[in-house]
């Protein structure tokens, strides 16, 4: 059965090069037939092999800030002509190993367990799999909460996690599959000034916040030096 790998790009935060790199990494690490679809408002610069579709309908709420909420539009009742399961990937991840297990794992909804909330059920939505069109009420519930949504949920991934938890289908990927560059690779201060970040044996490396993959490759100085990153050239093996 053909695999659906999807991403979403809108605005100017990420250029076409991020989508192109993501597609190349998927192609390198998924040998079974797959469709790679980018939902976007700008198709310029995207390479052959990437299917593009219009952004799913979304009613923007300027009062809640974080534009990541647009990801919830993927839970529309339809996503073009796509059927079955879809593996969603953020544009700033780095794929390191075979992706087939992400399609083989049993479950109706799978997501990364968020490292910043060990005592909460919140997932990190950089990598999640869902059944297309099966949960339109997620988007409906988001709209129904309106401006009050920020009272209970910090961001879209917290809301999404609790929605799936209430449905009884929230499940996390194996903890070794998706690791955080910030939480699992960076050396503690002051070792970060002398040693390269650790190269993990993971399938996907997640970048959330700073540094980005590009910043990590070149070297990065965070606030006060606590998140200083030596130029991490081993990323070149994966992030092409």
In terms of pTM, does the model score above 0.85?
yes
Checking if the pLDDT of 76 tops 90, the result is yes
What residue ranges do the domains of the chain occupy?
Answer: 3-172, 178-237
Residues 6 or more apart whose CB falls under 8 angstroms from that of 154 comprise: none
With beta carbons less than 8 A apart as the criterion, state whether 159 and 151 touch: no
Query: At the topology level of CATH, where does 3-172 sit?
Result: Spore Coat Polysaccharide Biosynthesis Protein SpsA; Chain A (3.90.550)
Helix orientation angle between 137-145 and 156-167, rounded to the nearest 10 degrees: 120
With beta carbons less than 8 A apart as the criterion, state whether 72 and 40 touch: no
Q: Which helix (H) or strand (E) element contains residue 172?
A: strand 170-172
pLDDT band, residue 54 (cuts 50/70/90): very high
> Quick one: pLDDT at residue 184?
95
Joined together, the tokens standing for residue 4 give 């659906």
Average pLDDT, the chain: 94
């Amino acid at each position: 059965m053909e695999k659906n790998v999807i991403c979403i790009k809108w605005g100017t935060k990420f250029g076409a090069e991020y989508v192109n790199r993501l597609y190349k990494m998927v192609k390198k690490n998924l040998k079974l037939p797959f469709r790679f679809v980018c939902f976007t408002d700008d198709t310029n610069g995207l390479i052959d092999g990437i299917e593009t579709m219009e952004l799913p309908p979304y009613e923007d709420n300027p009062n809640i800030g974080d534009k990541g909420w647009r990801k919830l539009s993927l839970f529309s009742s339809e996503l073009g002509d796509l059927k079955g399961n879809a593996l969603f990937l953020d544009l700033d991840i780095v794929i390191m190993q075979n992706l087939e297990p992400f399609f083989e794992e049993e479950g109706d909804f799978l997501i990364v367990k968020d490292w910043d909330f060990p005592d909460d059920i919140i997932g990190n939505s950089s990598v999640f799999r869902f059944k297309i069109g099966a949960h339109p009420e997620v988007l409906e519930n988001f709209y129904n909460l309106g401006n009050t949504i920020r009272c209970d949920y910090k961001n879209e991934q917290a809301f999404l996690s609790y929605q799936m938890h209430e449905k009884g289908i929230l499940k996390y990927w194996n903890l070794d599959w998706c690791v955080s560059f910030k939480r699992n690779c960076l050396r503690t201060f002051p070792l970060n000034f002398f040693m390269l970040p650790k190269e993990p044996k993971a399938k996907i490396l997640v970048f959330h916040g700073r540094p980005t993959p590009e910043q990590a490759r070149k070297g990065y100085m965070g606030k006060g030096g606590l998140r200083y990153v030596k130029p991490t050239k081993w990323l070149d093996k994966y992030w092409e």
